[in-house]
Amino acid sequence: MSAVTVVLFTVCLVLIAAITVAGVAGKLARIDGATYAAACLRAAAAFGAVVTLAAAVTGALAAVLP
């Protein structure tokens, strides 16, 4: 596989994970009794947290690996 293929595959996997986590967070917020707006805010925060975590891990690995 070429490097571009690996990068695109990884980006797709991270986005799928982030969307899944955001959906679950929004659903749990609604079950907990939050309004739709509050549930969307919690889902957006969860999505941002997953993407930020993936970027931090990528940066740490890039610093360690040759």
Could you read off the pLDDT of 35-64 as tens digits, one per residue? 999 999 999 999 999 999 999 999 999 999
The 3-class secondary structure across 3-38, one letter per residue, is: HHHHHHHHHHHHHHHHHHHHHHHHHHHHHCCCCHHH
What's the pLDDT at 27? 98
Q: Cα dist. 16→13, 19, 21, 52, 64 in Å?
A: 5, 5, 9, 14, 26
Q: What is the pLDDT of residues 11-41, one digit of tens each?
A: 999 999 999 999 999 999 999 999 999 999 9
Q: Is the pLDDT of residue 3 over 90?
A: no
Q: Is the pLDDT of residue 65 over 90?
A: no
